[in-house]
């Protein structure tokens, strides 16, 4: 009975994911019609629709105030008008969510090959059959963490577009790993990965933080220390560029070319407005509400230029720079450290969590950026921490695989439960602030939430 249930997971998770997305889409329609002042549909989706209407009528998407995204999102949202269906683009986002699950499964399959090959060659043995590719149950359970994740389902069904850059990051990772495994089509896969990486950066700037792990992963010997630490530090600025091999340059050039072509094309169409609204605005943005950022309360106190909590003008003006600098240094350092251990997937996961945790603006849809990478990170975590009694076995049955997941991921589960609990507490005070008008700004300043982010990361490092 137990084995039969496990064997049916592969089919059931996709049916369940499709059903949940469909139910939420129709629930959203009913809720928006009869639900009162708090709508189910994301306010950003209404902005997308207005911008798409402008494009459909031959105008600029930036004629819609507060549209601060790439014009491609407005073009995609034009499907609402092509099909005369107000949830057409929401349906597209939901389909992308489900396709991301299939892509995650493929990535997990390739990561398993690399991890097993690395461990077997390191230990000179061939006894690690835990991730036997003939038994996909383990991968399916992990993929369900994305497909059946209430956050990802709700955010897609509400009409948020963050799943698009997220799946583009997955496609980049997929082809980079495929290039690592492939011998004859490696450069073709690197070109594909560069195309998707350029697209991802065009949609959202945050994927640019993955450039460092990707470049290091493409060439495992890049910037390896072959001399004393003092000489290495002196040579580092020069070696940073002169040590790049052809494959790294091919990936970087393709990414830059795709981003530049899109940038130039939309600048030609919409001018400076495109550059400011799609990119520059996000560097100066300050959001004093619905914000999980640890800098939230500080920015709230400094929203009014006449109300300076600090005596120093220099300190007041440098607040955004301090927040941005701490974020970038932390993210880059984590990426370099982990990718040097040949953990590219774990590196970009940790980078994403850190980027979101330290970001000066942090809303719920940003969690999608690392939720989509979490199944891969947990997969690697389990592989690196598998109990010895299982690791020595030639093969494992479905029941043992299930208990490996439960036993090994207990610390992660506890961390995620605490993180979710903190999020719910924050949402309670945010509701009192925004809907009831209660003065509880300090309660939504999120320091406890931020520390639980760090606690979650610490769990993955144990």
Q: Which residue has the tokens 């350092």?
A: 333
3-state class (DSSP) for residue 269 = helix
Q: What is the per-residue pLDDT for 75?
A: 96
Alpha carbons within 13 A on the beta-carbon side of 368: 29
Residue 459 reports pLDDT greater than 70: no
Q: How confident is the model at residue 460 (pLDDT cuts 50, 70, 90)?
A: low
Q: How far is CA 172 from CA 10, 96, 200, 448, in A?
A: 24, 15, 9, 34
Q: Of 414 and 132, which is predicted with more confidence?
A: 414
Taking each helix axis from N to C end, the angle separating 410-434 and 398-408, rounded to the nearest 10 degrees, works out to 60
Tokens matching residue 234: 């002196």
CB 146 within 8 A of CB 17: no
Q: What is the per-residue pLDDT for 120?
A: 52
Highest mean pLDDT among 11-15, 148-152, 280-284, 381-385: 148-152
pLDDT digits 0-9 by tens, 234-276: 666 676 777 788 899 999 999 999 999 999 999 999 999 999 9
Q: Report the range of poorest mean pLDDT among 19-23, 34-38, 84-88, 183-187.
A: 34-38
DSSP H stretches of helix in 223-373: 229-242, 246-270, 272-275, 281-284, 296-301, 313-317, 319-339, 344-358, 367-371
CB 383 within 8 A of CB 115: yes
pLDDT digits 0-9 by tens, 196-214: 999 999 999 999 999 988 9
Number of other residues whose CB lies within 10 A of the CB of residue 361: 18
Distance between CA atoms of 41 and 53, rounded to whole angstroms? Answer: 17
Q: What is the per-residue pLDDT for 134?
A: 45
Distance between CA atoms of 4 and 419, rounded to whole angstroms? Answer: 33
Q: What is the largest CA-CA distance in the chain?
A: 70
Q: What is the per-residue pLDDT for 130?
A: 47
Nearest Cα to Cα of residue 201 among 270, 160, 241, 254 = 254
Q: How confident is the model at residue 307 (pLDDT cuts 50, 70, 90)?
A: low
Percent of the chain's residues with pLDDT above 70:
70
pLDDT digits 0-9 by tens, 343-371: 788 889 989 988 888 887 777 888 899 99
Q: What is the per-residue pLDDT for 305?
A: 57
pTM to 2 decimal places: 0.87
Q: How far is CA 190 from CA 14, 175, 210, 373, in A?
A: 30, 7, 15, 20
Give the chain's mean pLDDT: 80
Stretch 149-176: mean pLDDT, rounded?
A: 94
Tokens matching residue 107: 């990535």
Q: Of 449 and 67, which is predicted with more confidence?
A: 67
pLDDT digits 0-9 by tens, 396-429: 556 666 677 777 777 788 888 887 877 777 777 7
CB 89 within 8 A of CB 79: yes
Stretch 450-456: mean pLDDT, rounded?
A: 66
16, 21, 25, 26: CA torsion to nearest 10: 0
Q: What is the per-residue pLDDT for 390?
A: 54
The residues spanned by each domain of the chain are 2-395
3-state class (DSSP) for residue 361 = coil
Distance between CA atoms of 99 and 90, rounded to whole angstroms? Answer: 14
Q: Of 420 and 277, which is predicted with more confidence?
A: 277
pLDDT digits 0-9 by tens, 81-108: 999 999 999 999 999 999 999 999 999 9
pLDDT digits 0-9 by tens, 120-129: 555 544 444 4
Buried b (16+ CB within 10 A) or exposed e, 379-396: bbbbbeebeeebeeeeeb
Stretch 132-139: mean pLDDT, rounded?
A: 63
């Amino acid at each position: 009975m137990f084995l039969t249930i496990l064997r049916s997971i592969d089919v059931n998770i996709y049916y369940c994911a499709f059903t949940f997305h469909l139910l939420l889409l129709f629930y959203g329609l009913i809720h928006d019609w009869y639900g009162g002042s708090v709508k189910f549909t994301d306010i950003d989706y209404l902005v997308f629709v207005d911008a798409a209407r402008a494009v459909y009528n031959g105008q600029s998407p930036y004629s819609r105030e507060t549209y601060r995204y790439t014009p491609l999102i407005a073009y995609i949202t034009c499907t609402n008008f092509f099909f005369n269906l107000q949830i057409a683009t929401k349906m597209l986002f939901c389909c992308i969510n489900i396709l991301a699950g299939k892509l995650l499964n493929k990535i997990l399959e390739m990561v398993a090959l690399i991890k097993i090959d690395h461990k077997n060659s390191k230990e000179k043995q061939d006894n690690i059959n835990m991730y036997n590719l003939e038994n996909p149950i383990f991968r399916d359970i992990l993929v369900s963490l994305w497909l059946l994740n209430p956050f990802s389902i709700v955010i897609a069904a509400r009409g948020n577009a963050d799943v698009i850059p997220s799946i583009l990051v997955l496609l980049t990772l997929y082809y980079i790993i495929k290039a690592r495994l492939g011998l004859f089509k490696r450069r073709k896969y690197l070109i594909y990965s560069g195309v998707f990486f350029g697209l991802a950066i065009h949609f959202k700037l945050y994927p640019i933080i993955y450039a460092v792990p990707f470049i290091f992963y493409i060439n495992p010997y890049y910037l390896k220390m072959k001399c004393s630490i003092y000489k290495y530090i002196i040579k580092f600025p020069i070696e940073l560029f002169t040590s790049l091999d052809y494959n790294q340059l091919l990936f970087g050039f393709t990414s830059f070319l795709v981003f530049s072509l899109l940038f130039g094309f939309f600048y030609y169409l919409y001018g400076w407005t495109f550059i400011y609204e799609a990119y520059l605005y996000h560097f100066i943005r300050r959001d004093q509400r619905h914000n999980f950022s640890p800098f939230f309360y500080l920015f709230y106190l400094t929203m009014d230029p006449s109300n300076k909590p600090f005596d120093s003008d220099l300190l007041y003006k440098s607040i955004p720079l301090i927040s941005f600098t701490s974020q970038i240094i932390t993210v880059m350092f984590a990426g370099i450290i982990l990718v040097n251990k040949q953990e590219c997937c774990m590196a970009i996961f940790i980078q994403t969590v850190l980027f979101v945790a330290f970001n000066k603006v942090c809303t719920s849809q940003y969690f999608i950026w690392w939720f989509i990478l979490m199944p891969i990170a947990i997969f690697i975590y389990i592989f690196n921490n598998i109990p010895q009694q299982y690791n020595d076995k030639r093969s494992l049955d479905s029941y043992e695989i299930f208990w490996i997941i439960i036993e090994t991921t207990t610390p992660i589960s506890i961390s995620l439960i605490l993180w979710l609990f903190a999020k719910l507490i924050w949402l309670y005070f945010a509701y009192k602030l925004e809907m009831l008008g209660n003065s509880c700004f300090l309660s939504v300043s999120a320091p406890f939430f931020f520390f639980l982010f760090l606690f979650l990361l610490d769990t993955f490092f144990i």
